[in-house]
């Protein structure tokens, strides 16, 4: 399949969560730094945001690279485990895929039609020379349609350390609450707001 340029109106340009299907996939490299990547061309099939169905976007997965002593990356000689994270992500999203990375290049429609969920974000980039600003919509997460992203479970030892000092007070507070005794002053409104780590971007 040929990877053609599309008009701007065909591209997904808003942040959100979308159900998509794969159109094709290919290996490429970035223009300036020549960073290799695997790309999935996607089209939106379901969206809670108006006018987004049939919009297209591209997910890019970048392999792990070796860093040279001068701080640059070696894009030509990748380590054996370079594609491990990408292979694991694809395996989770596409149960029928057997892990053959070469096959994805030999047949660029091997995963075509497969459903996948994505989350996008919009970044504003500033050109270092001209100062011009440009919004760019990127696929932040590629997820299986059968799973949901959930916060990682906390280690029991860490939980105990976090609540140890407050545990006795909390139990006394609840005991008083059950008995209908006067309660402490209400917590300030802003103290109950979630921090950024708990907001599902």
Domains and CATH numbers, the chain: 9-143 (2.40.50), 156-191 (no CATH)
141 DSSP β-pair partners:
119
Q: Rounded mean pLDDT of the chain?
A: 83
User: What integer pLDDT is reported at residue 4 of this predicted model?
Assistant: 45
Q: Give percent above pLDDT 70 in the chain.
A: 82
Residues 159 and 142: their CA atoms lie apart, in Å, by 30
Tokens of 176: 């008083």
Q: Report the pLDDT averaged over residues 71-91.
A: 92
User: What integer pLDDT is reported at residue 126 of this predicted model?
Assistant: 87
* Structure-derived torsion over alpha carbons of residues 107, 112, 117, 119, reported in degrees to the nearest 10: 60
User: What integer pLDDT is reported at residue 183 of this predicted model?
Assistant: 54
User: What integer pLDDT is reported at residue 6 of this predicted model?
Assistant: 46
- Average the pLDDT over each of 36-40, 174-178, 180-184 and give the range with the smallest value: 180-184
**Greater confidence, 156 or 128?**
128
**pLDDT of 55 higher than 90:** yes
**Greater confidence, 65 or 8?**
65
pTM: 0.68
**pLDDT of 137 higher than 80:** yes
Residues 178 and 174: their CA atoms lie apart, in Å, by 6
Name the residue among 46, 45, 58 with its Cα closest to residue 3: 58
């Amino acid at each position: 399949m040929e990877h053609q340029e599309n008009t701007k109106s065909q591209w997904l340009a808003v942040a959100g969560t979308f159900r998509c299907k794969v159109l094709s996939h290919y290996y490429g490299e970035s223009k300036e730094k020549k960073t290799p990547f695997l790309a999935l061309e996607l089209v939106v099939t379901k969206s809670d945001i108006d006018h987004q169905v049939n919009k297209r976007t591209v997910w890019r997965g970048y392999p792990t690279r070796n860093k040279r002593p001068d701080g640059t990356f070696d894009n030509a000689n990748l380590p054996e485990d370079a594609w491990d994270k990408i292979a694991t992500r694809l395996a989770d999203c596409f149960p029928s895929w057997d892990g053959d990375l070469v096959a994805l290049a030999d047949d660029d429609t091997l995963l075509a039609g497969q459903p996948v969920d994505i989350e996008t974000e919009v970044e504003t980039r500033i050109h270092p020379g001209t100062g011009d600003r440009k919004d760019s919509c990127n696929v932040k997460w590629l997820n299986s349609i059968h799973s949901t992203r959930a916060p990682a479970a906390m280690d029991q030892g860490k939980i105990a350390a976090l609540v140890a000092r407050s545990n006795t007070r909390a139990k006394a507070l609840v005991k008083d609450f059950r008995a209908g005794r006067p309660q402490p002053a209400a917590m300030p409104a802003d103290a109950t707001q979630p921090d950024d780590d708990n907001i599902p971007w």
